[in-house]
C-alpha cells in the first residue's frame, strides 16, 4: 500500500517546536509510520525553484493537509495572503482531507489576518484547539486513528462484523441466502417468513455494515469467498503412514462458503476411513458404523471453520494418518477459558459470532459450549481414546485417534467388514473398498436415487459424492444408471450390475 502523505502547513517561527515534535512522533510511532509519511517545507533541500510554487505543488501531491495555526500570520504576498493561507485554500480547491489545529484559546491576541483564516477554516470543518506540543500530538494521533478506521485500514470491531473491502451485494449469491432461510426455519424456527427478501435476511443477521457485506456475509454466502479471503480455504490430505510424507496419496484444496467447506472436508474424511455395514435383516435401514463417528468428524471440522482466526494467512488443514485424524486451524484461546475448562461445562465463546449464528440456525453447531464434551463422549461410546486438543504457536490442533471398533454385544446388530482390499484395486484408487460395498449394499435390491445413497453414507455434498463415489463406481461397472441416456434426469436411479453383484456375494460369503 502506498503511504498516506501528510503536508504539515505553516512556516511560522512560533510553531517550529510543535512542527518538529509532531514530525518526529509520526515518523517514530510504530503504527502510524506504517501508514503515513510527513512533508515539512523546511526539510526540503535547496533548489532552484520558487518557494511558493514548491509548497503548493506539495499540497497537491499530498493526501492530507494538516494546518497548525498560531498567533502570527506570516509573510504576505501581493494579494495579502500568507503561505499558510495559500496552502489551506489549495487543499480546499483539490478536495484534500483537512485537519486544522489551533494553538491557544485567546483569539484576540492573534493577527487579524490569522483570525480571518481561522474563521474561514471554521466555516467548513471542525477545528481542534491545543495549548502545547504534547496536546497537539495527542490530538493528531486521535484524528489519524479515526481516519484509518474510516478508510478501513485498521478496525476495532470484530473481524466478522467488519465490512469486507471491495465486496458488494452483487458478490453474494442471494439464492444461497434464500435456501439458508428455508433451512433455518425448519431447523430452529427462524422467525422470518419464507418469502423475506435476501437483503432483509442479511440485515436481520447483522451481516451488513452500512449496506455492505461483512466478512461473515462473504464467508457464508459469497459466490467466491476466496476471492476476498484467500486463506479461508480448507486443505485436506490423506497419508498411508504415520507422518507427513511425499508424495501425498490424496490431497484436496476445497474452496467455497463455510457451509460447503464443512461438507466437503467431512466427506473427504468419511471417504477415507473404514466403514462397516450389515444387511437389512435388522430392519429396512442398513446398519452402518464409521470407525470414527460421523458426528465427531463433523464437530472437529465445524469448530475449525467456525472458530478459526480469519486474519491469519494460514488455512484450516485436515490430515488423516494411519493412526489418527488431525484438524489444524489458526486461533487463540477464548478469554476466560483454558484447555481444561473446555472439557467441562462452560459458556460458549465463539471467535466469530456472526458466522456461528447461521451455523447454529442450520444445526451445524449448538451454542451451549457442549461441542468438545460431545466429541469426548461419542469417542468413548465408539471405543476410541478421548480427542486430544492443544495449542501450538497460535494453531489449534485437534487429534482423534483411529481404532477399529470390535462389535461383541449380542444386542448390537451384527456388521461385517466391507469388501477386501483387492476389490478396491478392481474398482479405482479413488473409492475405498468400504465405500464400494456400502454403495453396492444400498443398490442390491430396488434401484436407489443418489439422495438415498448419500443418506446411507451420511453425506451431504453432492459434488464430492459424484466425483469421489458415484462416477468411479459407474466407470468400474459396479453400478449403472436406470436411465443411461439421460444422466441428469430427476428420475435417475442406480442399480447393481452383475459385476457388482458378484463382488458383493463374494464379500458376504466370507
Looking at CATH, the fold of the domain delimited by 421-508 is given as Arc Repressor Mutant, subunit A (1.10.10)
Dist CA 503 CA 478 (whole Å): 8
Q: Are strands 4-8 and 316-320 parallel, antiparallel or unpaired?
A: unpaired
Mean of the pLDDT values across residues 436-446? 73
* Residue 30 banded pLDDT, cuts 50, 70, 90: confident
Residue labelled with grid coordinates 514548491: 54
* Residue 412 banded pLDDT, cuts 50, 70, 90: very low
Is pLDDT above 50 for 406?
Answer: no
Dist CA 86 CA 52 (whole Å): 9
Instruction: Measure Cα distances from 488 to 320, 440, 481, 493, 495 in Å.
Output: 33, 21, 10, 10, 16
Mapped onto helix, strand or coil, the DSSP state of residue 103 is strand
From the number of C-beta atoms within 10 Å of its C-beta (0-12, 13-18, 19+), residue 352 rates as buried
Instruction: Measure Cα distances from 192 to 75, 185, 355, 462 in Å.
Output: 67, 8, 18, 28
Return the pLDDT at 9.
Answer: 82
pLDDT per residue as tens digits for the range 293-345? 999 999 999 999 999 999 899 999 999 999 999 999 998 877 666 777 777 76
Dist CA 292 CA 405 (whole Å): 9
Looking at CATH, the fold of the domain delimited by 4-150 is given as Rossmann fold (3.40.50)
* CATH code given to domain 231-401: 3.30.565.60
Return the pLDDT at 287.
Answer: 63
Is pLDDT above 60 for 255?
Answer: yes
Instruction: Measure Cα distances from 387 to 271, 275, 390, 403 in Å.
Output: 21, 20, 10, 12
CB 6 within 8 A of CB 69: no
For 125-144, give the DSSP string.
S-EEEESSHHHHHHHHHHHH
pTM for this predicted structure: 0.62
CB 53 within 8 A of CB 22: no
Mean of the pLDDT values across residues 274-293? 70
CA angle 265, 378, 346 (to 5 degrees): 90
Mean pLDDT of the chain: 83
CB 298 within 8 A of CB 273: no
Least confident of 19-33, 184-198, 206-220, 467-481: 467-481
Dist CA 457 CA 267 (whole Å): 9
CB 201 within 8 A of CB 190: no
Domain ranges of the chain: 4-150, 159-228, 231-401, 421-508
* Residue 450 banded pLDDT, cuts 50, 70, 90: confident
What Rg do the C-alpha atoms of the chain give, in angstroms? 33
**Could you tell me which residue, 332 or 430, shows the higher pLDDT?**
332
CB 121 within 8 A of CB 110: no
Is pLDDT above 90 for 453?
Answer: no
Return the pLDDT at 407.
Answer: 42
| Cβ-proximal residues to 122 (8 Å cutoff; 6+ apart), any chain | none
Dist CA 338 CA 234 (whole Å): 26
Dist CA 419 CA 476 (whole Å): 15
All cell numbers assigned to 361: 440456525
* Residue 138 banded pLDDT, cuts 50, 70, 90: confident
Instruction: Measure Cα distances from 147 to 10, 84, 123, 143, 204 in Å.
Output: 22, 23, 21, 6, 29
Return the pLDDT at 368.
Answer: 56
Amino acid at each position: 500500500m502506498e503511504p498516506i502523505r501528510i503536508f504539515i502547513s505553516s512556516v511560522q517561527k512560533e510553531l517550529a517546536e510543535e512542527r518538529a515534535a509532531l514530525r518526529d512522533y509520526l515518523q517514530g510511532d510504530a503504527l502510524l509510520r506504517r501508514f503515513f509519511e510527513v512533508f515539512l517545507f523546511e526539510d526540503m533541500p535547496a533548489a532552484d525553484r520558487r518557494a511558493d510554487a514548491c509548497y503548493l505543488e506539495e499540497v497537491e501531491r499530498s493526501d492530507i493537509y494538516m494546518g497548525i495555526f498560531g498567533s502570527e500570520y506570516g509573510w504576505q504576498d501581493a494579494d495579502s495572503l500568507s503561505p499558510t493561507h495559500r496552502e489551506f485554500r489549495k487543499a480546499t480547491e483539490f478536495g484534500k482531507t483537512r485537519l486544522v489545529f489551533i494553538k491557544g484559546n485567546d483569539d484576540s491576541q492573534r493577527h487579524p489576518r490569522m483570525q480571518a483564516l481561522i474563521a474561514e477554516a471554521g466555516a467548513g470543518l471542525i477545528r481542534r484547539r491545543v495549548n502545547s506540543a504534547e496536546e497537539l500530538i495527542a490530538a493528531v494521533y486521535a484524528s489519524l486513528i479515526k481516519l484509518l478506521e474510516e478508510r478501513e485500514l485498521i478496525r476495532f470491531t470484530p473481524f466478522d462484523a467488519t465490512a469486507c473491502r471491495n465486496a458488494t451485494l452483487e458478490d453474494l449469491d442471494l439464492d444461497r441466502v434464500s435456501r439458508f432461510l428455508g433451512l433455518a426455519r425448519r431447523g430452529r424456527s427462524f422467525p422470518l417468513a419464507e418469502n423475506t427478501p435476501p437483503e432483509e435476511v442479511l440485515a436481520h443477521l447483522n451481516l451488513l455494515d452500512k449496506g455492505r457485506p461483512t466478512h461473515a456475509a462473504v464467508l457464508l454466502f459469497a459466490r467466491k469467498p476466496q476471492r476476498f479471503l484467500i486463506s479461508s480455504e480448507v486443505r485436506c490430505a490423506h497419508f498411508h503412514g504415520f507422518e507427513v510424507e511425499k508424495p501425498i496419496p490424496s490431497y484436496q484444496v476445497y474452496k467455497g462458503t463455510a457451509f460447503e467447506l464443512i461438507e466437503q472436508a467431512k466427506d473427504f474424511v468419511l471417504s477415507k476411513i473404514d466403514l462397516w455395514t450389515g444387511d437389512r435383516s435388522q430392519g429396512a435401514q442398513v446398519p452402518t458404523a464409521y470407525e470414527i463417528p460421523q458426528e465427531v468428524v463433523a464437530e472437529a471440522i465445524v469448530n475449525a471453520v467456525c472458530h478459526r482466526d480469519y486474519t491469519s494467512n494460514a488455512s484450516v488443514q485436515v490430515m488423516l494418518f494411519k493412526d489418527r485424524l488431525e484438524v489444524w486451524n489458526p486461533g487463540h484461546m477464548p478469554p476466560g477459558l483454558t484447555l481444561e475448562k473446555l472439557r467441562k461445562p462452560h459458556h460458549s465463546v465463539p471467535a466469530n459470532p456472526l458466522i456461528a449464528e447461521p451455523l447454529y440456525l442450520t444445526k451445524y453447531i449448538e451454542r451451549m459450549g457442549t461441542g468438545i464434551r460431545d466429541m469426548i463422549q461419542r469417542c468413548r461410546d465408539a471405543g476410541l481414546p478421548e480427542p486430544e486438543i492443544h495449542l501450538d504457536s497460535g494453531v489449534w490442533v485437534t487429534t482423534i485417534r483411529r481404532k477399529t471398533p470390535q462389535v461383541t454385544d449380542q444386542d448390537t446388530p451384527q456388521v461385517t467388514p466391507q469388501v477386501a482390499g483387492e476389490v478396491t484395486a478392481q474398482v479405482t484408487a479413488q473409492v475405498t473398498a468400504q465405500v464400494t460395498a456400502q454403495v453396492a449394499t444400498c443398490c442390491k435390491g430396488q434401484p436407489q436415487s443418489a439422495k438415498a445413497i448419500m443418506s446411507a453414507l451420511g453425506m451431504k455434498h453432492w459434488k464430492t459424492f459424484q466425483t469421489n463415489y458415484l462416477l468411479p463406481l459407474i466407470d468400474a461397472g459396479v453400478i449403472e444408471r436406470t436411465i443411461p441416456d439421460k444422466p441428469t434426469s430427476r428420475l435417475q436411479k442406480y442399480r447393481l450390475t452383475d459385476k457388482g453383484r458378484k463382488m458383493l456375494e463374494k464379500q458376504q460369503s466370507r
